[in-house]
């Protein structure tokens, strides 16, 4: 193990859209591989053809690309020394059958011919006898049709007649199975709790249990990182490695904690209703017709999504929360992955995006906002695209209170269209003869300015208010409402500066005309 090159694989089954838990598994594997200058492989585990979903593989590849979690070997990312990387294609290499035959030859696996009706009947029998976990095991196999209970001749006859069969692992009775998990430490399970897992079917297609072990051995995988749901089958996997005589080739295991619902009550579901997506990209499930919204399409930055995911179950041991991919690679270790489930926090997820939004330059934000703005303005008569510096100015002002670029239009609409209505509460409270007169003199005062910067506008605003015996604070919000229609928004005088002198004066004059003095 000492000298083994660090090689981790992400091995999803293309049975649906890759949800964020899957992306986290890929991320942790990627971080560890990169930290140790190792390899990161994408292997597609498509042995269960009945669960194969069209488009899932492409979806997985596109999601990883969007997140910047790029394998250096594997499906969609270029072949390495262990191609092919799709298990359905690897089957043709004959490797799965070879390993299964080896297990049969050494007496650690056997053929089973039971039909699904016979298996059902067994289950019912065991349930009726109140057996807690009905399973095919060292006891029940004795009453079934397999190469342990049948004579050699009978087995041969069934085989030549082409009777469908499966190869099952012969799990010993009452044996202690111990293994070490990097996250959980030592795990001890009695073999009584492990069933005789199906390893291979008569068409030569392996199940996950055999296929991933063969591939992890053949691909020289050093660490197998996967979800907690695989922990119960790990003891069977330990036995397979042992029976193959490949214990020293076994990767170190790391079972990641579950991602829990925001209230901590159970596993996070892909139908979670927090309003935050569960999938990296939009996903349409062809079988059920369901649509799932993606982080990308919601307006999340991939860096924010990745940063948030890294914090779900891992912590750096410091108070630092914002990590670039490079920083994550540097800081990551399995020792700091928690054993217990990680609560998903929708608000925190948005907060991460906000942090990244604030870190973007105005030019970068303008680049992202421009197409959205074009889309809006093209439907509005008499509007033209504003200048680049104007768009950047809007981004600078609205970003503070936004989580997403796609909120900029709604929160900054008045930068592009003069208001048609005015916040009713503010008008009711603040609009009177005196304040209307103030707005009128303010427009006149602004006209006298040669340059119109925020400090100048603010200065003359105060002077004008005081000259009329009004405390500036009393009319500040009213001024805002005359400009934008809205009671809240970015820094007032910055907003005025960006709108520009002429536009500000025009809006004040319109307000005086439109808003009736009570």
Is 54 one of the catalytic residues? no
Q: Cβ closer to ligand GLU: 212 or 296?
A: 212
Query: CB atoms < 10 A from the CB of 81, how many?
Result: 8
| Least distance CB 12 / ligand GLU (angstroms) | 5
Instruction: For residues 75 and 85, give the distance between their C-alpha atoms in angstroms, rounded to a whole number.
Output: 6
Q: Is 324 exposed, middle or buried (0-12, 13-18, 19+ CB in 10 A)?
A: middle
| Least distance CB 172 / ligand GLU (angstroms) | 23
Q: Cβ closer to ligand GLU: 90 or 501?
A: 90
| Least distance CB 87 / ligand GLU (angstroms) | 9
253 has which bridge partners? 181, 224
Q: Which pair of structure tokens corresponds to residue 364?
A: 């970068």
Q: Cβ closer to ligand GLU: 215 or 497?
A: 215
Q: Cβ closer to ligand GLU: 47 or 147?
A: 47
Q: Which of 35, 201, 249, 270 is catalytic?
A: 270
| Least distance CB 51 / ligand GLU (angstroms) | 10
Cβ atoms 173, 139 nearer than 8 A:
yes
Closest CA to 496 of 393, 423, 408: 393
Around 51, how many Cα atoms within 13 Å sit in the side-chain half-sphere?
Answer: 12
Binding site for ligand GLU (CB under 6 A): 11-13, 45, 208, 212, 224, 226, 230
Instruction: For residues 422 and 485, give the distance between their C-alpha atoms in angstroms, rounded to a whole number.
Output: 4
8 conformational bin, left if phi > 0, alpha if psi -120 to 50, beta if neither: beta
- In the DSSP assignment, the letter for residue 404 is S
Q: Cβ closer to ligand GLU: 45 or 303?
A: 45
Q: Cα 52 to the chain's mean position, in Å? A: 21
- Name the strand (E) or helix (H) holding 357: helix 346-359
- In the DSSP assignment, the letter for residue 517 is P
Query: CB atoms < 10 A from the CB of 448, how many?
Result: 7
| Least distance CB 43 / ligand GLU (angstroms) | 8
Handedness of CA 408, 409, 410, 411 (dihedral sign): positive
| Least distance CB 221 / ligand GLU (angstroms) | 9
CA angle 501, 503, 505 (to 5 degrees): 70
Q: Cβ closer to ligand GLU: 8 or 405?
A: 8
Q: Cβ closer to ligand GLU: 11 or 177?
A: 11
- Judged by DSSP in three states, 387 sits in coil
| Least distance CB 100 / ligand GLU (angstroms) | 18
Q: Strand 259-260 relative to strand 198-201: parallel, antiparallel, unpaired?
A: unpaired
Active-site amino acid positions: 270
């Amino acid at each position: 193990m000492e000298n083994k090159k660090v090689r981790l694989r992400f091995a999803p089954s293309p049975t649906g859209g890759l949800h964020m838990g899957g992306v986290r598994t890929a991320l942790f594997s990627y971080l560890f591989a990169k930290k140790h200058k190792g390899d990161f492989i994408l292997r597609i585990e498509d042995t269960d053809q009945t669960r194969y979903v069209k488009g899932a593989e492409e979806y997985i590849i596109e999601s990883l690309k969007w997140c910047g979690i790029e394998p250096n070997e594997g499906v969609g990312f270029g072949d390495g020394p262990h191609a092919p990387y799709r298990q359905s294609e690897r089957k043709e290499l004959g490797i799965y059958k070879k390993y299964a035959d080896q297990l049969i030859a050494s007496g650690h696996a056997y053929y089973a011919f039971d039909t699904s009706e016979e298996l059902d009947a067994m289950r019912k029998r065991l349930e009726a006898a109140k057996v807690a976990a009905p399973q095919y095991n060292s006891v029940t196999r004795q009453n079934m049709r397999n190469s342990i209970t049948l004579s050699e001749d009978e087995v041969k006859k069934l085989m030549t007649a082409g009777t469908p069969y499966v190869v099952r692992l012969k799990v010993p009775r009452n044996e202690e199975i111990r293994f070490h998990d990097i996250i959980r430490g030592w795990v001890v399970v009695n073999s009584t709790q492990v069933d005789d897992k199906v390893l291979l079917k008569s068409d030569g297609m392996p199940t996950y249990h055999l296929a991933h072990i063969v591939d992890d051995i053949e691909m020289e995988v050093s660490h197998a990182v996967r979800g907690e749901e695989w922990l119960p089958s790990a003891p069977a996997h330990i036995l397979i490695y042992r029976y193959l005589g490949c214990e020293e080739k076994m990767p170190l295991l790391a079972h990641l904690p579950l991602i829990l619902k925001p209230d901590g009550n159970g596993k996070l579901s892909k139908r979670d209703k927090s309003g935050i997506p569960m999938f990296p990209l939009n996903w349409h499930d062809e079988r059920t017709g369901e649509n799932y919204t993606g982080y990308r399409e919601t307006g999340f930055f991939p860096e924010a999504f990745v940063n948030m995911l890294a914090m779900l179950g891992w912590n750096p041991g410091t108070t630092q929360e914002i990590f670039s991919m490079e920083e994550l690679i540097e800081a990551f270790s399995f020792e700091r992955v928690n054993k217990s489930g990680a609560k998903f926090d929708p608000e925190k997820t948005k907060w991460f995006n906000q942090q990244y939004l604030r870190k973007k330059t105005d030019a970068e934000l303008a680049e992202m906002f421009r197409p959205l703005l074009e889309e809006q303005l093209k439907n509005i008569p008499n509007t033209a695209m504003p200048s680049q510096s104007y768009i950047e100015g809007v981004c600078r002002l609205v970003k503070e209170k936004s989580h997403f670029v796609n909120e900029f239009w709604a929160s900054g609409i008045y930068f592009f269209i003069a208001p048609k209505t005015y916040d009713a509460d503010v008008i009711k409270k603040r609009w009177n003869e005196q304040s209307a007169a103030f707005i009128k003199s303010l427009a006149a005062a602004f006209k006298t300015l040669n340059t119109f910067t925020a400090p100048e506008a603010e200065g003359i605003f105060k002077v004008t208010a005081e000259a009329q015996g009004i405390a500036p604070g009393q009319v500040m919000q009213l001024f805002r409402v005359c400009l934008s229609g809205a009671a809240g928004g970015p820094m007032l005088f910055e907003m005025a500066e960006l709108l520009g002198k002429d536009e500000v004066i025009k809006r004040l004059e319109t307000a005086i005309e439109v808003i009736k003095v009570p």
